[in-house]
Amino acid sequence: MGNIVAIVGRPNVGKSTFFNRLIQRREAIVDAVSGVTRDRHYGKADWNGKEFSLIDTGGYVIGSDDIFEAEIDKQVELAIDEADAIIFMVDVETGVTGMDEDVAKLLRKVKKPVFLVVNKVDNAKRAEDAVEFYSLGLGDYFTVASINGSGTGDLLDAIVEALPEKEEIIEEELPRFAVVGRPNAGKSSFINALIGEDRYIVTDIAGTTRDAIDTKYNRFGFEFNLVDTAGIRRKSKVKEDLEFYSVMRSIRAIEYADVCLLVLDANRGFDGQVQNIFWLAERNRKGIVVLVNKWDLVEKDHKSMKEYEKAIKKQMEPFTDVPVVFISALTKQRIFKAIETAVEVYKNRTKKIKTSKLNEVLLPIIENYPPPAYKGKFVKIKYIMQLPTPQPQFAFFCNLPQYIKDPYKRYLENKLREHFGFHGVPISVYMRKK
């Protein structure tokens, strides 16, 4: 299970640029206009072999002082509540502002690691100017320039050293299916439809994700732990940002899960928030089943289902080998089909292919369509094996692994899927020196 690190602060201090640098992927929109990052952004970061989830809490839509106060309070409080460590980013160009002081006031009460990060420090004069941030009462600070990465190494060293070690969870070896998705997509209704008439539930046990409930489910020969991320919102959080809170909960559930049942509202489609959660599950190498809920409320004809699925898979590219099940939690339409599909995906995720079979099937295919030559050098793949990992990972041993590019790796992944299945499961392909 990974840790969560949240980046908080006022608008225009460079949080999105910093976020993009840490995850080495341009996912957040970077712009100088306040309120651009209305959708929050989530990604995986890795430093010195330690992985953690990173959350950019984004800019705030400021309508008035009162609206701003309410927005900043709930964003920072949610980050404090859910994250294992907090990066508080400020801007050396503008110096200490009243908004910075508001955030610092909240963070001074926190019992978790807080890292004060002064951004845009790209010369000696600005390094001297950063001294004024001691006035925020948060102790020492780090100076960075997120635009070029200066200073981020020291900061990341300190963060990974401060992150708490996660306890090893000792429990029954049952598959864990997490029901995730944006608010109001029907996650609770789906779970209630599953367990409402189920007389085979053994017990409700405290979940390993904070406040989540694991339901041990046993029906029609299926036994697994069903992780509910829908009904765990604290009643005291009356002002919270549902989208932000939903994804923070989903992050923890996804990291613990074997298979993610991604529930979306048929009327809203595979929108940005759903895509965020989908790619979180894919990057965590989890099995995925997409459940299109409220299908009974959609006007449709005999082509609707096929066209809807095609549109979803267009948004999933290049990972399109994902089952899509059209359900109605209200009428219980196909809800057990959803579970059957999740069980099949779990079996695919834990499938092991014999080394002899891999080589027997794939080596002739590779010989007929070898990797393209690079700078006049020919790559020869000699041997293939599946790695002993919880999810499908394959090592291809060859003479020049550095010359095999992503398109050919995708070709190999497609051949693995074509001959051995793995529907609904991300596959990792690695090139190794023979």
Is 401 labeled as ligand-binding? no
Is 186 labeled as ligand-binding? yes
Is 53 labeled as ligand-binding? no
Is 153 labeled as ligand-binding? no
Is 198 labeled as ligand-binding? no
Is 11 labeled as ligand-binding? yes
Is 293 labeled as ligand-binding? yes
Is 347 labeled as ligand-binding? no
CB 121 within 8 A of CB 92: yes
Is 50 labeled as ligand-binding? no
Is 100 labeled as ligand-binding? no
Is 272 labeled as ligand-binding? no
3-state secondary structure string, the chain?
A: CCEEEEEECCCCCCHHHHHHHHHCCCCCCCCCCCCCCCCCEEEEEEECCEEEEEEECCCCCCCCHHHHHHHHHHHHHHHHHHCCEEEEEEECCCCCCHHHHHHHHHHCCCCCCEEEEEECCCCHHHHHHHHHHHHHCCCCEEECECCCCECHHHHHHHHHHHCCCCCCCCCCCCCEEEEECCCCCCHHHHHHHHHCCCCCCCCEEECCCCCCEEEEEEECCEEEEEEECCCCCCCCCCCCCHHHHHHHHHHHHHHHCCEEEEEEECCCCCCHHHHHHHHHHHHCCCEEEEEEECHHHCCCCCCHHHHHHHHHHHHHCCCCCCCEEECECCCCECHHHHHHHHHHHHHHHCCCCCHHHHHHHHHHHHHHCCCCCECCECCCEEEEEECCCCCCEEEEEECCHHHCCHHHHHHHHHHHHHHHCCCCCCCEEEEEEC
Is 9 labeled as ligand-binding? yes
Is 304 labeled as ligand-binding? no
Is 14 labeled as ligand-binding? yes
Is 409 labeled as ligand-binding? no
Is 10 labeled as ligand-binding? yes
Is 285 labeled as ligand-binding? no
Tokens representing 152?
Answer: 């981020």
CB 201 within 8 A of CB 195: yes
Is 332 labeled as ligand-binding? no
Which residues, 6 or more positions from 136, have their beta carbon under 8 angstroms from its beta carbon?
90, 96, 100, 101, 104, 116
Is 181 labeled as ligand-binding? yes
Is 2 labeled as ligand-binding? no
Is 188 labeled as ligand-binding? yes
Is 122 labeled as ligand-binding? yes
Is 125 labeled as ligand-binding? no
Is 354 labeled as ligand-binding? no
Is 58 labeled as ligand-binding? yes
Is 239 labeled as ligand-binding? no
Is 287 labeled as ligand-binding? no
Is 229 labeled as ligand-binding? yes
Instruction: Please enumerate, by residue number, every residue annotated as part of a binding site for GTP.
Output: 9-16, 56-60, 119-122, 181-188, 228-232, 293-296
Instruction: Please enumerate, by residue number, every residue annotated as part of a binding site.
Output: 9-16, 56-60, 119-122, 181-188, 228-232, 293-296
